[in-house]
Structure 1
């Protein structure tokens, strides 16, 4: 199996082709991304559907879960790490920074009593989020520092978490399915 160095060449070719295509298009529309989530009956497992992919999210037994998948906060940390690693590859390919290995570890705190009486001061959301980006590379320290800076500027999930966002929510009441009487 070839390594990241070979992949970066493929990534650079793909990025160059994408840039050329985008420059040639007269109007580039926004991408609307979508995820659908359905709670699976008696198990309470959350089935996350994104395009043709399915991810299972679940809780531990202390929340009536079955440990069939990562919790939503854990998935959020994983999404941040995935995005940071992907943007690192993109920025390295664009800059010609050689990489032999890339690993990201993301941590965050949650407290089971957050927001409850006596614990109102503890956020009910992930907080104290931190990541460590480990890179094996023959590049200079200066090149790696510039790469890291570029990653932090370009990473959409990192910036989503760092910048205030408005999230619109709507509740739609659906009709109950009639149960057959026996």
Structure 2
């Protein structure tokens, strides 16, 4: 049976090799990423496609959904947890910190009255987001604190949420009836 400690050895080797590659070829360190989402007919289920993977997002039954998958805000919390977990493993491997087990719990609040009359000051987005890293390790508390400091410094999704950026959007509008006329 493979343990997390054994995995961290593999992770360190892969991380050092990748870091060396990026230092030799900095142009390869820039990686465009993309996700595409399509609303499915009759159900409104959102089909999220990322590379060769698919995730389904849906609303609960009380909001015209079928509860076939998590909501977008729930997925966002999951994405943060996944990134924190991955970055903790990376940093533990690079710092040669032994971890027996790792789990992350993310919580937040979504107020469905946000933005409505009387609730104008309530954020319309998930807020009061908190996370807990549950780390089982024989390392000292100081070592684990150093690990946490490094994780917070380099976790991409944590830092995206803490330091939001400008997002540009555009609408590509087609009219089915006018397309049919041209055909």
After TM superposition, the score normalised by the length of structure 2 is 0.94
Q: For residue 105 of structure 1, what is the aligned residue in structure 2?
A: 105
Query: 1:23–1:175: structure 2 CA closer, same or farther, 3 Å change rule?
Result: same
> Residue 145 in 1 paired to residue 145 in 2?
yes
How far 1:19 moved relative to its partner? 1.5
How far 1:163 moved relative to its partner? 0.4
> Residue 96 in 1 paired to residue 82 in 2?
no
2: distance between equivalents of 1:8 and 1:131? Answer: 22
Aligned residues: CA RMSD: 1.4
Q: How does 1:1-182 map to 2 (within 5 A)?
A: 1-25=1-25, 27-28=27-28, 30-176=30-176
Post-superposition CA distance 1:113-167 (Å, at most 9, x none): 1111111121100100000001000111110000000000010000000003100
Unaligned stretches of 5+ in structure 1?
none
1: distance between equivalents of 2:90 and 2:15? Answer: 8
Runs (4+) of structure 1 exceeding 3 A deviation are 26-29
How far 1:26 moved relative to its partner? 5.7
1: distance between equivalents of 2:28 and 2:7? Answer: 27
2: distance between equivalents of 1:101 and 1:54? Answer: 28
How far 1:29 moved relative to its partner? 5.1
How far 1:174 moved relative to its partner? 2.1
Q: How many residues align?
A: 179
Unaligned stretches of 5+ in structure 2?
none
Contact kept in structure 1, 2:104 and 2:134, CA below 8 Å: yes
Query: 1:23–1:172: structure 2 CA closer, same or farther, 3 Å change rule?
Result: same
